Every structure is written in C-alpha cells, then in structure tokens.
Amino acid sequence: MPFAKKSSKLLKFLARNWSQEAVTCPEPEKLTNPVPIQSQALKPYSDIPGPRPIPILGNTWRLLPVIGQYDISDVAKLSSLFYQEYGKIVKLSGLVGRPDLLFVYDADEIEKVYRQEGPTPFRPSMPCLVKYKSEVRKDFFGREGGVVGVHGEPWKTFRTKVQKPILQLHTVKKYVEPIEAVTNDFIQRMTEMQDDKGEMPADFDNEIHKWALECIGRVSLDVRLGCLDANLSQDSEALKIIEAAKYALRNIAILELRFPFWRYFPTSLWTRYVKNMDYFVEICMKHIDAAMERLKMKTVKSEKDLSLVERILASEPDSKTAYILALDLILVGIDTISMAVCSILYQLATRPEQQEKLYQELKRVLPDKHAPLTSEKLDQMVFLKAFVKEVFRMYSTVIGNGRTLQEDMVLLGYKVPKGVQVVFPTLVTGSISEYVSEPKTFMPERWMKSESTSKIHPFASLPYGYGARMCLGRRFADLEIQVLLAKLIRSYRLDYLHEPLEYKVTFMYAPDGSLKFKMSERPDD
C-alpha cells in the first residue's frame, strides 16, 4: 500500500532518530514550571508555526500520495522543507500515535537546550530494545540495563561506570594497532574482491559492515570474530553474527514503525527479534567470560596493561556490566560507522583533488607505507580529520539528534511544555549561512585552524551529539575511520566512475546505490 510505504519512511526517520518511548516518556502537558521570563513577552506553544493538524487524521494526511503536499520519499528533504516554509521553529503535531515533534533550526537555541539538559538527558530511542531490556529479559538486564534505551538514574549509574575507560585517550590509543590489523585484512580482501575493471562488487556496503563488525568485536569483546574471512562456513559463528547484524539492520525499523502489534502480543517478527537479541547476548557472554578467564591468568603491573574489556572487568566485580556494555556498543556501533564510512569513501572517490591532497598528507606523515601507524602519526593527519568533519557537516550520517524536554522551556520566544520532543536537524543546521560561511561549498580546510578564516557555530554541526549523553563510541569511531582512510588512501587511489548517487535516509543518511569503487594501486614512491 503506497501510503503505508511512504509514511513508514517518515516514521522510520522520526523514530530512528527521535522516536518516543511510550512507556517512559512524559507526554506534552500544560506548563507546570514556567521559566521565569516576563510572561507578556512569551508566545503560547499553540502559536508555533507548522502544518496544522486536522481532526482525526492529524497531520498524517499531509504525507499521503496525491493529496498530501510533502514528498517524503526523502525524509531528509522534509526537515529542510519545514525550515524553508516555516522558519527556525516548526511544530509537527497530530502524528498518529506519536507526540509532537518540535524542529529547532536555531543553533543558539539548540545550544540552550543542550546546556540546560541536566544530569540525565532524555534521548528517546528504540522502543523495541526498551521492551526487550525492561520486560522480556528484565531478569538479565536488571535496573541498570546499559545506556541505550535507558533513562534517568539507571542510565546515569551505568554510564558513570563505563564512560571513563571508553573515553580515555590512553585506552583508545591502545587500539591503533589492533584496528590497523583488522583494517589491513579488510584492504587485502578489497584487493581480492576487485572485478576485471578493478571495481568493488555492487554489495560492497555489506563488506564495510563486516569490517565494522570485526572492529567492534575487537573493541567490545576482545576477540577477532573472523567476519573478514573469505570462505566462511555455514555454521561458523562469524557468519551467524553477520546474519544477526544484517537482521537487526533490516528489520528493526519495520518492527518499530509499523503499527506496534508486538507491544500487545508476540508477532512472528517480534519473536525473531527476541531470538536475534538473545543470540547477541549469548555471544557477548561467551566472549566476555573468556576474557575474564584470560584476565585471571594475566600478570598485570599497571592499568595500562589492560584492554578496555579487562578494565571494565577489573573494576566491576559483576561481569554483567561488561556483557551489557558490549551489547550496547555492538547494537549502536555497527551501522553508524559503516554508513559513515560508505559516505566518506564516496565523497573521496568523487573528489579527486581533495583525495590527492589527502594522499600528499599521508605520504608526508607515512613516508614508509608499510610502517605501522601510531597515535602520534594519526594526530598529524589534519587534512584527513578535516575531510571527515566536512563530510559530517554536509552529509551528517545521523541526520539529527533530539531531546525530550524534562522541564518547561522557552524556545525562540515560545513557551514549550515539558514532554515535547525537540529535534535538532543537524543536516540542515550544518548548512545555514548564518552559522557556517559558504555552506554549499565542500571545504575541509574550514576545520583547519591554520588555513581557515570561515565561521562555524559550534552547535550547528554536531555529528556525535553533545553533553552528558554524547556518543559513547566517538573516539573509537574516529579512530576506525582514520585508520581505514590512512591505510587505504596511502596505497590506493579510489574512483567512482558511475552515475552520481543520491543520498537517502535508509537507516542512516548515506549514498543510496552500489558503491562500485575502482581501486588502483599507487605506484611505489
């Protein structure tokens, strides 16, 4: 049915990034704690512009084919359309079964929301995971069930336990070598996958997913899962994990966005989801238990001898913390990073001059292309980092972030009640000329202090979010991307010789189509 198809795209987008958890999140309500600002100057919430809902159908009809005014086949364009049509604050109310969404395109106001979010920010996410953690496997997850889909004090307690080791620079530096080993295997596999024109296969994005899985296994489970092996047997654990990750990627959105029958009775898709999640839990427990056994045998002189998993295990007597953390990192860390890499490689392959500039930088920093990487060398790759930031600014992989207000607030002069879901459309704000000079120009140099005079509002482009709830895996994500680009572009030139691809929100914002990159070895220098 076309409407179901189209509206599910919008809902996929909305729910993936900002969906409401009916169980835990307060609905918008009357102002209970008005911010102390002269009330005459304030405008009521009802005056916020936006498409007006009509009785019964609310705003959903606007997304219907033919009679609806919005083409939501590309939901990223929808948030841009709202901005053009209504300005810096737009209310989308009357979405069937959803709370109001408040799109805010003002970087100063976004900064205000982030800065006032308090010690336990509420980012609505993944209702399926919430049900799985808090009901189906309550016995296992208990009260502090991780960081993803958990809120309030339980979120804070868990995040406090794990955040230091994950975000400490010296922990991350320990992974330069292991991530380089995974990446070398991946690049070797890329050379084996080339067709007679030197191009990658049409499903190259699947291969990027396997690289991401292998990296996340190395970080969160202390193990090489073997996902990059060319000939995986049908009953291998690696293949089962790849299938489980693919399942998660393809079906969770459907489950969460179609009418949520699973909330009331176990549909077949829900049963498979639970089985899939149980499998991930089992894998996490198996490898963490093995890490625990190794740790018992290890002579440890200082904390520096420990891997991330070992540090968590050493500080937390109950290995459940390590199980749950590994599960969260795997669930969130695979598709974000792989879609980001698809996008970054596509941009590099279609921007030969900038790729050449990157190559020259890599030649300078890594005169011997076979010498191992170090964190000091990565630090010197300023153009590489600037290129990645610019891709995130113009093609933000996670197209927006959001917070459910836990207190009433004033935004752009309107009284906004707590419970409203405020949306920060990063993809749009990163290209508003008031906040970013020459926003339509792809210019990595703008991020390089030595070369740039251009302005960027610090809250206009935040690919990893901000504040206490900011992306927990960001340092590992940066490291994995940097290692891949450094190793690949130092030795190979990448081209894309087909019709340009459009960006779409499938799950994340990424080029939609076959990533048949041509890979040519650079002559030895």
The binding site for ligand HEM (CB under 6 A) comprises 123, 147-148, 159, 216, 328-329, 332-333, 336-337, 340, 397-398, 401, 463-466, 469-473, 476-477
Q: DSSP state, 324?
A: H
The H helix count followed by the E strand count for the chain is: 18, 10
Report the nearest approach of ligand HEM to the CB of residue 411 (Å). Answer: 18
Backbone angles phi, psi at 201, to 5 degrees: -65, 160
Helix or strand or coil: residue 404?
Answer: strand
CB closer to ligand HEM, 48 vs 162:
162
Report the nearest approach of ligand HEM to the CB of residue 162 (Å). Answer: 9
Cβ contact 498:518 at 8 Å: no
Burial class (CB in 10 A: 0-12, 13-18, 19+), 438: exposed
CB closer to ligand HEM, 205 vs 328:
328
Report the nearest approach of ligand HEM to the CB of residue 343 (Å). Answer: 9
CB closer to ligand HEM, 393 vs 490:
393
Torsion of CA 317, 325, 225, 230, to 10 degrees: 180
Cα separations in angstroms, 95 against 8, 15, 20, 30, 263: 12, 12, 12, 19, 19
Strands 101-104 and 421-424: parallel
Binding site listing? 471
Report the nearest approach of ligand HEM to the CB of residue 157 (Å). Answer: 12
CB closer to ligand HEM, 58 vs 402:
402
Torsion of CA 484, 485, 486, 490, to 10 degrees: 120
Question: What are the structure tokens assigned to 66, written together?
Answer: 């033919």
CB closer to ligand HEM, 9 vs 159:
159
Percent of the chain that is helix, strand, coil (3-state, to 5): 55, 10, 40
Helix or strand or coil: residue 412?
Answer: coil
Report the nearest approach of ligand HEM to the CB of residue 480 (Å). Answer: 7
Nearest-angstrom CA–CA distance, 24 and 145: 14
Report the nearest approach of ligand HEM to the CB of residue 403 (Å). Answer: 7
CB closer to ligand HEM, 245 vs 329:
329
CB closer to ligand HEM, 148 vs 228:
148
CB closer to ligand HEM, 123 vs 311:
123
Binding site listing for heme? 471
Report the nearest approach of ligand HEM to the CB of residue 200 (Å). Answer: 21
Q: Which residues lie across from 423 on neighbouring strands?
A: 103, 402
Backbone angles phi, psi at 421, to 5 degrees: -95, 110
Strands 414-416 and 409-411: antiparallel
Report the nearest approach of ligand HEM to the CB of residue 503 (Å). Answer: 15
Within 10 Å of residue 219's Cβ, how many Cβ atoms?
Answer: 27
Cβ contact 496:517 at 8 Å: yes
